[in-house]
Structure 1
Amino acid sequence: MDWSVGFFLPFSAAFALSVVLMPMARGAGWVDSPCVRKRHRGEVPLVGGVAIFLAIAAGTAFAGLWREYAVLLAFGAVLLACGLYDDVKPLSARFRFLAQGAAAVVAALVGGVVLHDVGNLVSTGVIALGVAAVPVTAFCFVGVMNAFNMSDGMDGLAGGLALVTLLSMSYLAVGIRHAEFLTLAAGAVAGFLLLNMRSPVLGRAKVFMGDAGSLMLGGILAWFLIDLSQGADRAFSPSVALWLFALPLMDTVSLMIRRIRKGRSPFSPGREHFHHILQRAGFSVGQSGSIMVGLATLLAIVGVVGSELLIPEPVLFFGFLGVFGVYLWGMSRAWRLVRYLRRQRHTARPVRFPASVQEEGHYEGIASYYDKAA
Structure 2
Amino acid sequence: MNLLDHEVILELFRAYYLLFVVCIFLGAFALTFFLIPKVLWVSKEKNLMAEVIGRSAHSTETPSFGGVAFYITLIMVLALLQSLRLNYVGSHLIGAITILFMVGLKDDLVISTARVKFFGQIAAACFLVFSPEMHLSSLYGFLGIYEIPWILCFFLTGFLIIALINAYNLIDGIDGLAALVGIVICTAYSAVFYISKNPYFVLISVSLGGILCAFLRFNYSRGQRKIFMGDSGSLIVGLVLAFLTIKLLVMTPTLPLIGNEFSPSNRPLFVACILFIPVFDTLRVILLRLLKGDSPFSADREHSHHILLDLGLSHKKAGFFLASLNILVISIFWFFSNLLSNLWLSFLVVAMYGAMFLMFYLFKKKSLVVWKEVKG
TM-score by length of structure 2 reads: 0.83
Change (3 A) 1:207 1:215: same
Deviates more, 1:1-10 or 1:218-227: 1-10
Q: CA contact under 8 A between 2:311 and 2:363: conserved in structure 1? A: no
> 2:17: which partner in 1?
none
The farther-off stretch of 79-88 and 107-116 is: 107-116
Distance of 1:74 and 1:235 partners within structure 2 = 30
- Aligned residue among 80, 95, 115 for 1:94: 115
Query: Alignment partner for residue 206 of structure 2, among 179, 183, 188?
Result: 183
Q: Report the counterpart of residue 60 of structure 1 in structure 2.
A: 78
- Whether 1:13 aligns to 2:9 is no
Where is the helix percentage greater, Structure 1 or Structure 2?
A: 2
Shift of the 147–13 alpha-carbon distance from structure 1 to 2, 3 Å rule, reads same
Task: State the 1:246 CA deviation.
Answer: 0.8
Q: For 1:260 and 1:131, how far apart are their aligned partners in 2?
A: 30
Q: Is the 8 A contact 1:155 1:205 kept in 2?
A: no
Distance in 2 (alpha carbons) for counterparts of 1:83 and 1:111: 27
What residue in structure 1 maps to residue 57 of structure 2? 39
The alpha carbon displacement at 1:262 in A equals 0.5
Mapped pair 1:282 → 2:312: yes
Give the conservation status (yes or no) of the 8 Å contact 2:78–2:94: no
Cα–Cα, structure 1 residues 93 and 334, in superposed 2: closer, same or farther, change >3 Å? farther
User: How many Å separate the matches in 1 of 2:341 and 2:114?
Assistant: 39
- Please give the alpha-carbon distance, in whole angstroms, between the structure 2 residues aligned to 1:12 and 1:60: 16
Q: CA deviation at 1:293?
A: 1.2
Query: Aligned residue for 1:252?
Result: 282
Q: Does 1:85 align with 2:103?
A: no
Note if 1:240 corresponds to 2:241.
no
Structure 1 residue 29: deviation in Å?
A: 2.9
TM-superposed CA distance for 1:8, in Å, is: 0.6
| Structure 1 position 272 matched with structure 2 position 341 | no
Aligned to 2:344: 315
Partners of 2:131 and 2:299 in 1: CA distance:
34
Structure 2 counterpart of 1:75, from 91, 96, 105: 96
Please tell me the residue identity of whatever aligns with 2:113. S
> Does 2:41 match 1:23?
yes
Shift of 1:111: 5.8
C-alpha spacing 1:191/1:306, structure 2 compared with 1 (3 Å)? farther
Please give the alpha-carbon distance, in whole angstroms, between the structure 1 residues aligned to 2:334 and 2:38.
37
Closer/same/farther in 2, CA of residues 130 and 48 from structure 1, 3 Å limit: same
Gap change, CA 1:127 and 1:303, over 3 Å in 2: farther
Partner of 2:262: none
* Residue 176 (structure 1) shift: 2.2
1:121 equivalent to 2:142? Answer yes
- Aligned counterparts of 1:118 and 1:29: Cα–Cα separation in 2: 49
C-alpha distance in 2 between matches for 1:283 and 1:52:
28
Shift of 1:272: 0.9
Name the residue aligned to 2:127: 106
Whole-Å Cα distance in 1 between the matches of residues 59 and 168 of structure 2? 23
Report the alpha carbon displacement of residue 238 of structure 1 after superposing the two structures with TM. 1.9
Corresponding residue for 2:331?
Answer: 301
SS at match of 1:45: coil
1:196 corresponds to which residue?
219
Task: Please say if residues 197 and 204 of structure 1, whose CA atoms lie closer than 8 Å, have aligned partners that are also in contact.
Answer: no
1:235 shift after superposition: 6.2
Aligned counterparts of 1:77 and 1:209: Cα–Cα separation in 2: 16
- Gaps in structure 1 of 5+ consecutive residues: 343-347, 353-369
How many correspondences in the alignment?
342
| Residue range with higher mean Cα deviation, 254-263 or 325-334 | 325-334
Secondary structure, in 3 states, of the residue corresponding to 1:302?
A: helix
